[in-house]
Amino acid sequence: MYGKYATAHERLEEALSLAEQTRDPFLTARTHFLLAVVAKGERNRSKQTTELDTALSDFSNWGQRWSMGHWWAKSTRVKAQ
């Protein structure tokens, strides 16, 4: 890895380790999503797909936290004029 992606990747891997230790499925999924964004920037399609699959693999355990965030996002959308 090189450039700005190398630094981001290292920091996100560290964040992922901490998220997994706290057993917070939402935080873990978010970090996997961000790793997928980095993989896209690196043009690494297989890593991107793997990270996205991993992010959604534990979707059923996101629980109330995701439901409230999803509701809030839907309720605050600005309609096109």
Query: What's the pLDDT tens digit per position in 13-40?
Result: 999 999 889 988 888 888 999 999 999 9
Q: Which residues of 3-27 are buried (b: 16+ CB within 10 A; e: fewer)?
A: eebeebbeebeebbeebeeeebbeb
Asked if 20 contacts 28 with a C-beta cutoff of 8 angstroms, the reply is yes
Residue 31 lies in a domain: yes
Structure tokens at 21: 């230790």
- What pLDDT, on a 0 to 100 scale, did the predictor assign at position 14? 93
pTM: 0.70
Query: What's the pLDDT tens digit per position in 34-76?
Result: 999 999 988 999 999 999 888 888 776 666 555 555 555 555 5
Residue 75 lies in a domain: no
CA pair distance 57, 53, nearest whole angstrom: 6
* Number of C-beta neighbours around residue 32 at 10 A: 21
Residue 74 lies in a domain: no
- What pLDDT, on a 0 to 100 scale, did the predictor assign at position 7? 85
| Structural domain containing residue 11 | 3-58
